[in-house]
Amino acid sequence: MIDLNTLPERLLLGPGPSNAHPRVLDALSRPLLGHLDPLFIELLDEVKQGLRNVFGTTNAFTLPISATGSAGMEACMVNLLEPGDNILVGVNGVFGGRMCEVASRAGAKVHRVEAAFGEPLDVDAMVTAIRATRPQLTAFVHAETSTGVLQRVPEIAAAAREVGSLVVLDCVTSVAGVAVELDEWGIDAAYSGTQKCLSCPPSLSPVSFSDRALERVRERATPVQSWYLDVSLLAGYYEGAKRAYHHTAPISSIYGLSEGLQLVEEEGLAAREARHREAAAALIDGVAEFGFTPLVAAEHRLPMLTSLQLPEAILNSGEAELRGALLNKHNIEVGAGLGSLAGQIWRVGLMGENARITSVDRLVGALREELS
Ligand SMILES: Cc1ncc(COP(=O)(O)O)c(C=O)c1O
């Protein structure tokens, strides 16, 4: 059996999870409270407010769903789609593809606008498709972790609203790393995850629904197919003076999220974004000496996840072996390419607490040792 006391301290520079902040790890070990204890409810209310801040919203329905980011995605789809509805999804990476799969299982007719992996969605192509299909729902990814692309949002959201479509935005990787402005952009539902720029372990999916989105749920002709993710049932548990048992919230994870949000508040969102950008720039500079080049054009690059094209020498000598050496000899995890980019790129995450020059220096030092 693996002895947990002997687990190595890895530096997690992949696409997530990133390392949790020591203060978050400390918070996880605080004494358990009951999930309907007034003290816990007060803490939950603070967490909901902290989430509104990082989502850039005043949406009342903003809370952490008790499961990972994919559950947030599923919550948006199953609540906002009814069988036979049309959804338009922008697909320029693995997570846009996952949205299509989840929407199709919810019984929707899925229309896709595709862009090459490594490119953003073409805004004009999205706007044209929205006007042509007039979907009930438009969905796309803000920060595509599979490719390292940051998507421009406002024009697509505005076109969707013009035709009465609700807009869902995947903010799993962007929240607390780059500006997210749900209200300013006109987003109706968004979801995130705790294991990326919030510096917490995986376990929760912060979500936010606008009043317009909740209205759509109230007007449904069919019940939401998922009992666990039904936002009307969740509202009875997370909102108001009288909270009724729905499920048992993961108390310790919410302690961790509370501390993670406190850290964001202390640093400030603008300073946090600047720190992510500085770390990414240092990474690109630092690995240039080995021949790594960024996959994504500078203006579309994510600061918290950099896709690096592998130099010829590493392509020929086996990139998996080098990743293995980084992991086993240096305790550094970096991510492999996904889908069509498998074997072609590495994905290096500098997320949350890890977005520091010290992380870059450790990776560059380890690469120098392995490649010299
Ligand atoms: C952009 C994006 N969306 C959705 C997900 C799914 O989240 P999870 O793996 O926490 O379920 C991820 C996870 O990496 C992601 O990066």
Alpha-carbon distance 133 to 87, whole Å?
Answer: 9
Does residue 221 carry a pLDDT above 90?
yes
The tokens describing 298, both together, are 């500078």
Q: Mean pLDDT for the chain?
A: 97
With a 6 Å cutoff on the Cβ, whether 145 touches ligand 1 is yes
The arithmetic mean of pLDDT across residues 247-275, rounded, is 98
pLDDT value at residue 170 = 99
Task: Work out the number of other CB atoms within 10 angstroms of the CB of residue 289.
Answer: 11
Tens digit of each residue's pLDDT (9 = 90 or more) over 86-124:
999 999 999 999 999 999 999 999 999 999 999 999 999
Q: Which DSSP letter does residue 200 get?
A: S
Task: Please report the pLDDT score of residue 262 as a whole number.
Answer: 98
Helix (H), strand (E) at residue 32: none
Reduced to 3 states (helix: H, G, I; strand: E, B; else coil), residue 189 is strand
SS percent in the chain: helix, strand, coil, step 5: 45, 15, 40
Give me ligand 1 centre to Cα 54, in Å.
Answer: 17
pLDDT at 318: 87
pLDDT (average), residues 140-152: 98
Residue 352's pLDDT band (cuts 50, 70, 90): very high
- 120: region left, alpha or beta (phi > 0 left; psi from -120 to 50 alpha): beta
Ligand 1 atom nearest to CA at 141: 1
Whether 97 lines ligand 1, by a CB cut-off of 6 Å, is: no
Amino acid, single-letter form, for residue 58 = T
The C-alpha atoms of residue 189 and residue 170 are separated, in whole angstroms, by 9
Closest alpha carbon to 197 in 172, 214, 169:
172
Give all domains of the chain, ordered by start, each with its CATH number: 8-17+269-371 (3.90.1150.10), 22-264 (3.40.640.10)
What's phi and psi for 6, nearest 5 deg?
-105, 10
Mean pLDDT of 300-328: 95
Tokens of 107: 């019984």
Does residue 202 line the site of ligand 1, with CB under 6 A? yes
